[in-house]
Structure 1
């Protein structure tokens, strides 16, 4: 992301279950960044603290409940939208269904790689990551609405 490494503060915090349940990892550090939503004439900005993880994930950054609360965000998961109050009206952030599906497949693949590295070469996932992702989408009660683009 082109961030100056001197801005990263050390962290001793640990967490579990991000990719594999019950596996503990330690943050590499924390970083404070300004986050801006909206357009030049209607925007919100806040400084948020991000925890840096020591492994690859399919995202550049994850915004948790605390970050969403600071912006007073209302998430609309079905339509992949975030809405928040702005100084000149509602700010809407639109998601991308195709990109989300690809990211989900990538994350499943990364989880399988990590599981293999922990369990050893004898570990073989029972279902390939791409197949699992396709099955989950096929069984999901939330189908892409033809009206989703217009909400």
Structure 2
């Protein structure tokens, strides 16, 4: 196996860890929807696992990483295009850009990533708050159902 390929994969993983996209090999396996042992074998350079298909799947799961760079070493490791998943993401980024009075495309990749991670953290926090609200409502509902059930049992017993 080409040592440079293994080094590039290690470098990509280190980058993703540094950007807090992943923390562990398990995170890679989950994101790629693959068995963790397959990931370990690929990282170790086992030719049976570190295949063209694996590299494609890796760069699909972690779209910041360039397939061309990972597979051949050509170009830049980090893809510089901005492929936002929704109009809300673009609106939020545009708002941030206006706050900083600059053009998003002219920002260094680190700043772009920081803006995107800030948005991701905000979405995660909002979803956690919504889940907590729904959980609280469900707990109250269950208590009400239990109280009604207890009252019905008492009425049936009388």
- Pair in the same fold by TM > 0.5: no
Larger radius of gyration: 2
- Which has the larger helix fraction? 2
Higher strand share: 1
> TM class by shorter-chain length?
under 0.3
TM-score for both structures, normalised by structure 1: 0.24
